[in-house]
Chain A
């Protein structure tokens, strides 16, 4: 029963994806259909056009299993011969170092502002 609810809700969420694609085509937007769909779903929830219960179970499942949907693309990495060279290895190291710097900087800044703000409130 729970599986059927999740499946139906995923089908329902697709409506917003298609609406997003329609809006994108109509207005020639350089934004992906899924991002427009996100905004449309958010608006539909905020304006009480649809109820949270209609999408919550399916949406939570999609988000919980998000990594699964990245798996085929990760397998596809083997298609890029350029990656299996010194150049590719160097790029992987650059990506690792840069990701570390971005994560640390963002965490540090957000944490500082957060505690500054919280102390202000008290």
Chain B
């Protein structure tokens, strides 16, 4: 019973945020920022703890599994373009994934971030399940990494259009790759606004970034961490 109430409440507030964002596309109205804020307000009013909410909302989180599987569909539909641009995908994502790890690392070292945060922030650029795996591998705190992954998605979804316009990126290939590399599923969701081709490349970026980050997590990051002592 509680599950139905919580799931319906979440869907309703998400729908409101989505409509609001369509009418007035301000960063603060981004559905992944506005709907959690509305939900937090509601659960505070009704004296529900965040943990109780999370347990009841489990069916929604579960849907991330089949949604990840469904990413096979755009790839299958656009296989010809994928084959044509495989070189661009491999080059830009290999570099992008390294930039993700090293930029977080350098920034974290610059501000003397504590060790748990530093290690947990490194795999934040990829989709949640993979980021958690990598975090576990390199001695981070997987739950903390999940928080960083979500924050990355929210920030990426918000700044995405400005970065793309600011750099006057024209090709849907580059738009998609940049969004999928920097902001995983949330970026891919944003890429849909630039058309199906951008969405496909974003999906590919996300998958390839996840795979190669797993490799970095096994061979590169442990080496860096040992070196840093």
B19 within 8 A of A: no
A69 within 8 A of B: yes
A32/B87 contact (C-beta < 8 A), A63-B71, A103-B178 known: no
A33 to B74, CA, bound (A): 19
Q: Mark B64-92, 1 if CB is under 8 A from A, else 0.
A: 11111111111111010000010110011
Contact of B32 among A13, A70, A87, A107 (CB under 8 A): A70
Residue of B nearest to A115 (CB): B171
B36 within 8 A of A: yes
Contact call B159/A100, Cβ cutoff below 8 A? yes
Contact call A91/B117, Cβ cutoff below 8 A? yes
Q: How large is the interface on A (under 10, 10 to 19, 20 to 34, 35 or more residues)?
A: 35 or more
Q: Is the interface of B mostly helix, strand, loop or mixed?
A: helix
Q: Mark A72-109, 1 if CB is under 8 A from B, else 0.
A: 11111111101100010011101111111111111111
A40 to B108, CA, bound (A): 38
Contact call A68/B14, Cβ cutoff below 8 A? yes
Contact call B73/A52, Cβ cutoff below 8 A? yes
A38/B14 contact (C-beta < 8 A), A91-B113, A110-B177 known: no
Of A75, A83, A108, A110, chain B has the most CB atoms within 10 Å of the CB of A110
Contact of B108 among A39, A94, A102, A105 (CB under 8 A): A94
B95 within 8 A of A: yes
Of B33, B69, B71, B100, chain A has the most CB atoms within 10 Å of the CB of B69
Query: Inter-chain contact count A-B, CB under 8 Å?
Result: 279
B142 within 8 A of A: no
Contact call B68/A38, Cβ cutoff below 8 A? yes
Contact of A70 among B130, B150, B164 (CB under 8 A): B150
Contact of A38 among B40, B54, B72, B186 (CB under 8 A): B72
Residues of A within 8 A of B143 (CB): 80
Residues of A within 8 A of B192 (CB): 63-64
Contact call B73/A74, Cβ cutoff below 8 A? no
A34 to B66, CA, bound (A): 7
Contact of B156 among A30, A52, A103, A113 (CB under 8 A): A103
Residue of A nearest to B134 (CB): A30
Residues of A within 8 A of B117 (CB): 82, 87, 91
A22 within 8 A of B: no
Residues of B within 8 A of A109 (CB): 91-92, 95-96
Residues of B within 8 A of A76 (CB): 50, 54, 146-147
B221 within 8 A of A: no
A37 to B64, CA, bound (A): 12
A14 to B62, CA, bound (A): 11
Of A14, A68, A78, A99, chain B has the most CB atoms within 10 Å of the CB of A99
* Shortest distance between the CB of B182 and any CB in chain A (Å): 4
- 9 A-B contact pairs sorted by A residue (CB < 8 Å): A40-B69, A55-B73, A62-B70, A74-B36, A78-B50, A95-B104, A103-B159, A111-B174, A113-B87
Chain A residues at the B interface, C-beta cutoff of 8 Å: 10, 13-14, 16-17, 20, 30-35, 37-42, 45-46, 52, 55-56, 58-60, 62-64, 66-80, 82-83, 87, 90-92, 94-111, 113-115, 117
Closest 5 CB pairs of A and B: A107-B178, A59-B70, A34-B68, A103-B182, A110-B174
